[in-house]
Amino acid sequence: GKPALIEFYAPWCGHCKKLEPEWNEAATRLKGQVKLGKVDATVETALASRFKVQGYPTIKVFDYGEGKTDSRARDFEGSRDANAIIAYANQLLEKADI
């Protein structure tokens, strides 16, 4: 399995709207290496509460390999621009050594 970054967002959230073009650019540039996904937390409420999403956007990091459980998901703490997201994803890949 490959590492993944999942953004939990709300349609009305201004910070989410600002993140969107950065997120899309990062997703395009990381295609086939690291999966970037988006979840509308106002629709997927059960999923959002399962991952203890409290504010928007919340970006969760899922590592590769065995034991990819919910509890291993952690928050992405980096800055929310494409280059920072890509740099972080590349670090995940190096650690994954796929």
Which residues are annotated as catalytic?
13-16
Contact 35, 93 (CB under 8 A): no
The count of C-alpha atoms lying within 13 angstroms of the C-alpha of 72, restricted to the half-sphere facing its C-beta, is: 10
- DSSP for residue 71: G
Contact 30, 87 (CB under 8 A): no
